[in-house]
Amino acid sequence: MRKSAILLVFSFVFSMCVAAQQPAATPLFHFEEVMIPVRDGVHLQTVILTPVNATEPLPILLERTPYGVPEKAPAEMPARWKELMQDGYIFVIQNLRGRFKSEGVFNISSQVDLTDPKATSETTDAYDTIDWLVKNVKGNNSKVGIFGVSYDGLTAALTLLHPHPALKAISEQASPVDQWMNDDDHRYGALRESYDFEYAVMEQADKNKNTNFAFEIYDTYEWYLKLGPLSNINDKYLHGSIPYWNLTVEHPDYDDFWKKEAWVRQLHASTVPNLNVAGFWDQEDPWGPWQIFRHAEEHDPEHTNFMVAGPWFHGQWQRPEAKSIGLIPYGGHDTAKEFRGDLEAPFFRYYLHGKGKKPTWQATTFQSGSNRWRTYAEWPPKEAVATKLYLHADGTLSFTAPKDGGKGGDYREYVSDPANPVPYRMRPISPTYPAGDWRTWEVADQRFVDNRPDVLTFVSEPLDHDLTVTGQLAAKLFASTTGTDSDFVVKLIDVYPQDAQKNAWEPEEGPKPGQYAESLNGYELPIAMEVRRGRYLQSFEHASALPANKAVEWNVPLRDHDHVFLKGHRIMVQIQSTWFPIIDRNPQKFVPSIYQAVASDYVKATQRVYCSAEMASYIELPVMK
């Protein structure tokens, strides 16, 4: 969540600015640190980097972050600025209120109340900052852009609600929008336990630094399992000291608190040209940019609302290089440099320098599978046809609907045990931060759970032609449980052929080519994965028990994708009821609040997924003709 600029802790963003470098012969920037006043008298720590070789007034590019600003000017040009600096910008980086030297209180909040003239928020702080910058920074051309990834993307996106007149361009990248519904903290009300807890500690344990929780066990799967009920986090460790965690457990349902946090509910137009950016395998914020894009699209007469997406982990497009994700290559493309050089820089060039051309497309993607850039006049493209891929009781997948009376019955079942939950990635599971393996878990080979009795697997025959899916994916299940609450996790997987070694390539780092290629043989690559929590099937606002032993309909959104299942590959679907500890354990017995559940509430349950003509379970794919 919201971590693109963590100074010295994470490798994104400003670590490049302050990392030890051989000093350049000539300084690149003039460095100035100021405290900018905002409307309630709070002053915000701000660094201004003005190019030393500027010969004309330049636009300002602003980034607002909770992770710390540079302590000095970079001795070498940060990789993510190189393409932008071909046009020239004054870079401004600001700590949010309550972080490091910035005054005020940091709340981890995206609540914005524009009806109260005395209320402050990241929206008003950005407005006041921009107003100060255009009046006080020497050599600016009175045009401002704002951009950033994750939390920095959120602070950029929030300016859409009340933009300053000087704000001419925004690029929100991986911004969250509704922390109960999706992205960092929850997935449709199912708590992202390990992430939510560890992030809240990181940002609220100490005002002056980013803090990693000190686990006494390396394998966090084991630590969270031994922890027991969620109430033990406060009882044993935090003791009420982390405000955001307290708010999380005080508000289990989609109540007014979470609705106010869902700032995108106030957005209904494209107020400023905005380049939205999303990663298909973003392990933190894959959903928010698509929601911003759709809300802005409600009223966009000038066509200033754009969408870019690619097969990236969180913020990968801003790394020095992006030639692969995990073991999966991008076909020789450096997608980070291509994004910055061909999409991001031209966007800001047009709107802040008045040069070049306005984008003629609405959406641009780097399509996985085919490994090529695609542009679309509209998203989703009209050519995509909703097509049902059916689950069959014999464990197969096909585009043919099931018929009753199939061999083995019309359902498949398994026992879900909260005491032995399915891990979300291969154990041992390191802490979320600062280990690097967190970044790529969404592309991990799913064979590590293939033989578990509590994971159902459905697989197609090898495809006899390429199958392109472009747009929104979804799953519809008919399922029952012997309990009174339950989760269902759906994974859509691209299964590589056993002779995938013919696609050998030289990896950027890691195993030698022969070893690398062999590891792709039979690889089970997740394309889309999501969870639904049964207590919220009828209402997000009011949890209710599931009827035991009765099949009900589960609609599981699987977000937007652009992927080609290549000829010879197979399609797989995995279904399970635990995904630990990225998703907290459902007791499988209905309780008013899972955050108040006790150990005896956690019970085994038998789960059934139906595959009959009357109750057909399927994946809906937007197939391009």
Same domain? For 34 and 164 the reply is yes
- Residue 7 placed within a domain: no
Residue 439 to residues 121, 311, 312: CA-CA distances in angstroms?
A: 30, 13, 10
- Among 272, 3, 299, which residue's Cα sits nearest to residue 130? 272
The CA distance from 429 to 111, in Å, is 33
Which pLDDT value is given to residue 518? 52
Same domain? For 144 and 60 the reply is yes
- Residue 359 placed within a domain: yes
Which pLDDT value is given to residue 500? 85
The strand pair at 140-149 and 58-65 is best described as: parallel
- Residue 230 placed within a domain: no
Which pLDDT value is given to residue 498? 94
- Among 19, 422, 434, 401, which residue's Cα sits nearest to residue 202? 434
Look at residues 344, 376, 408 and tell me which one is the last residue of a structural domain: 376
The CA distance from 463 to 173, in Å, is 35
Same domain? For 337 and 431 the reply is no
Which pLDDT value is given to residue 625? 86
Q: Are 272 and 304 in contact (CB under 8 A)?
A: yes
Which pLDDT value is given to residue 554? 98
The strand pair at 456-459 and 618-624 is best described as: unpaired
Same domain? For 292 and 420 the reply is no
Which pLDDT value is given to residue 254? 98
CA 210 remoteness from chain centre: 20
- Residue 304 placed within a domain: yes
- Residue 566 placed within a domain: yes
Q: Are 404 and 613 in contact (CB under 8 A)?
A: yes
Q: Are 129 and 44 in contact (CB under 8 A)?
A: yes
Same domain? For 87 and 36 the reply is yes
- Among 244, 162, 235, which residue's Cα sits nearest to residue 202? 244
Greatest Cα pair distance in the chain: 79
- Among 272, 265, 329, 280, which residue's Cα sits nearest to residue 302? 272
Which residues are within 8 A (CB) of 80 and not within 5 positions of it... i.e. 6 or more apart? 13, 16, 318, 319, 320, 340
Same domain? For 399 and 325 the reply is no
Grouped pLDDT means (10 residues each) for the chain, 625 residues: 42 41 71 98 98 96 97 94 97 98 94 95 98 98 98 98 98 98 97 97 93 94 97 97 96 98 98 98 98 98 98 98 96 98 98 98 98 98 98 97 72 98 97 89 97 97 98 98 98 96 49 53 97 98 98 98 98 98 98 98 98 97 95
* CB neighbourhood size of 480 (10 A): 22
Same domain? For 564 and 505 the reply is yes
Element (H, E) at 515: helix 513-518
Q: Are 498 and 521 in contact (CB under 8 A)?
A: yes
Same domain? For 402 and 371 the reply is no
Look at residues 376, 398, 417 and tell me which one is the last residue of a structural domain: 376
Question: CATH no. for residue 532?
Answer: 2.60.120.260
Residue 430 structural domain: 384-624
Same domain? For 538 and 457 the reply is yes
- Residue 145 placed within a domain: yes
Same domain? For 365 and 498 the reply is no
Residue 579 to residues 31, 190, 194, 529: CA-CA distances in angstroms?
A: 47, 11, 11, 11
Which pLDDT value is given to residue 501? 62
Which pLDDT value is given to residue 434? 81
Look at residues 318, 348, 376 and tell me which one is the last residue of a structural domain: 376
CA 481 remoteness from chain centre: 30
Residue with structure tokens 């704002």?
146
The CA distance from 276 to 149, in Å, is 10
- Residue 453 placed within a domain: yes
Same domain? For 55 and 154 the reply is yes
Question: CATH no. for residue 274?
Answer: 3.40.50.1820
Q: What is the pTM of this model?
A: 0.94
Structure tokens at 506: 């030289």
Q: Backbone dihedral region of 282: left (phi > 0), alpha (psi from -120 to 50 degrees) or beta? A: beta
Which pLDDT value is given to residue 24? 47
- Residue 536 placed within a domain: yes
- Amino acid in the structure at residue 168: K
Same domain? For 424 and 330 the reply is no
Task: Report how many domains make up the chain.
Answer: 2
